Chains A and B, each alone.
Chain A
Amino acid sequence: MRTSVLARTGFWLLIVAIVIFAIFPFYYAVISSLRSGQALFSAAVWPDSVSIANYVSVFTGQPFGRNILNSVIVAVSVVALSLFLGVTAAYALGRVSFRGRGLLLFTILSVSMFPQVAVLSGMFELVRAFGIYNSLWSLILSNMILTLPFTVWVLTTFMRELPKELEEAAFVDGASPWTVVRRIFLPLMWPAMVTTGLLAFIVAWNEFLFALTFTLSTEQRTVPVAIALLTGATQFELPWGNIMAASVTVTVPVVVLVLIFQRRIVSGLTAGAVKG
């Protein structure tokens, strides 16, 4: 009996340790963002001041609202494009057997293993050639390499698991493949599309290397670049209060989204990886 009490205490201590490890950094960012002026340097782990001065100065010191809007535009466009291309391709890859399908799936999977930097100079040339340097279009285009392969892959695995009889009847009735995808598969694919869409959104929302390289002016930056390059009143001192306020501002929506859709996300993550 005594060992069981000991074991149970140990188990709960482990859980407490995991929770502290997981949420302390974010908690500390929140309380730091609410400290302004000298209070910022207190390093106490309890909230000891509440001031929104840092939040005000983030939005007035630079076009941070504009940066958030840029990130939203890029991420939403990337998600919409990836899902459209992903669903049509997944229909072909998941429901029709044709020669070269395995090779095609393998190629798509291997693209998701490309290091971003390996396409950087080629992409830079492409962006220049299209005349979209320093515009959001360059980011929408380049982010596709990150989201498209896994969107296609995950949607294909979902599509493959749907019963075979689904489209047979419709085809016998003479429906075109496009009608079949739109009328039969799209309604069934919504859960899978929400999951992959969310994952693609998070990838595009977090993307840094392309955004750092293909944008130049403060107004065109997305959130990650804006936060990484946030500068203070003087060149030698980083405005930590502002950085924390900006970090909390852009993280809260994502964390809320993830917590709402946690079941879906977990299944999507594991489906993409385990079956991949």
Chain B
Amino acid sequence: MAMSAKSTELTRARVRSAWLFLTPMLIVLALVAGWPLIRTIFFSFTDARLSSISDYEFIGFANFLEYYEGEWYGVIADPDWWRAVYNTIWFTVVSVGLELVLGMIVALTLNAAFPGRGMLRAAILIPWAIPTIVSAQMWGWMLHDQFGVLNEILMTFRIISEPVAWTASPDTALWAVVMVDVWKTTPFMALLILAALQMLPSDCYEAARVDGINPVKVFFKVTLPLIRPALMVAIIFRALDALRIFDLIYVLTSNSRDTASMSVYARQQLVDFQEVGYGSAASTLLFLIIALLVVVTLMVGRVRLGEDPR
């Protein structure tokens, strides 16, 4: 009896100290995440400007949508915003899709035993380690319309007949962004897939090999279903990252309307045009879109887990 009283007292003391240990982290997190988010949402209902951020008036939903003298105004009525939404979603789908396929190929290669495997893994870490801005500039130079090495190589092999203005022309600019992003983030995808591959039991592969089943069939029937949960996590992580893309687009295509993502659009309103209220409204919409996606994926994931008998 005395023993258990002492242990509950000990537990209580530990819980108290746990909260004490958590407090500094929670204060910092509230300061840098919670409070700024609340203020951003708050600003989206005001007409604040960057030069006089404390001097504002409430204007309701006017930053989002307003009908005034026969015309619609606000972020939701701005074709540039919808262009940015389309660009962001197109970029996310294409780049994450390509990264998934290429990452899978790299991961399967790395999963095989061959001399120099460690060196290959080191080599694919290099793109990941290079700062985004640096990769944007490096590729900006390689994709240069007059002196770029990519045009030179493609023209040597007669794949193209005249230089392409990769980052300047609206038709190719978003593809250029995708190309750089795929180059930079495929290693991350490959490492995540590799980690999942290495956790697979080897006995079913032995059995399949003994039975002489085609490796391609084994991949689609055995490997893919087994690593699907890990793939989903990797895809969700990458997609959430891709949806908030800013720096690559900002540097590679220099703030052009044709390639602006939602983040680029919001920052442009906020900083370049000084419209804190309007920019905050766009930021709030981006936040809502991402939050909605997270909730939906969590719900779908939970439903799946519930159905799964394992």
Contacts and interface: CB of A to CB of B under 8 A. Distances in A.
Interface string B269-310: 011000010011001101100100010000000000000000
Which secondary structure dominates where chain B touches chain A?
A: helix
Contacts of B230: 274
B29 to A, nearest CB: 6
Interface in B103-151: 105-106, 109, 112, 114, 116, 120-139, 141-142, 144, 146-149, 151
B133 A113 contact: no
B1 interface: no
Nearest to B282: A117
Contact of A270 (B20, B48, B112, B191): B191
Contacts of A141: 31-32
B135 A18 contact: no
B169 interface: no
Contacts of B136: 228
A138 B136 CA distance: 25
Contacts of A89: 21-22, 24-26
B37 interface: yes
A148 B133 contact: no
A125 B39 contact: yes
Interface residues of B, number: 98
Interface string A96-138: 1010000010001011011111111111111010000000000
Given A45-B149, A45-B153, A117-B283, A11 B138 contact: no
Contacts of A243: 137, 141
Interface in A193-245: 202, 205-206, 208-209, 213, 223-225, 227-228, 240, 243-244
Interface of B: 10, 14-15, 17-22, 24-26, 28-29, 31-33, 35-40, 42-43, 48, 50, 53-54, 105-106, 109, 112, 114, 116, 120-139, 141-142, 144, 146-149, 151-153, 183, 187-188, 191-192, 195-196, 230, 233-234, 237, 240, 243-244, 246-247, 250-251, 262-263, 266-267, 270-271, 276, 279-280, 283-284, 286-287, 290, 294
Given A15-B116, A117-B263, A118-B284, 15 more contacts: A22-B126, A25-B135, A26-B127, A89-B25, A91-B21, A115-B286, A116-B263, A171-B14, A208-B133, A209-B267, A223-B131, A227-B134, A258-B126, A269-B188, A269-B192
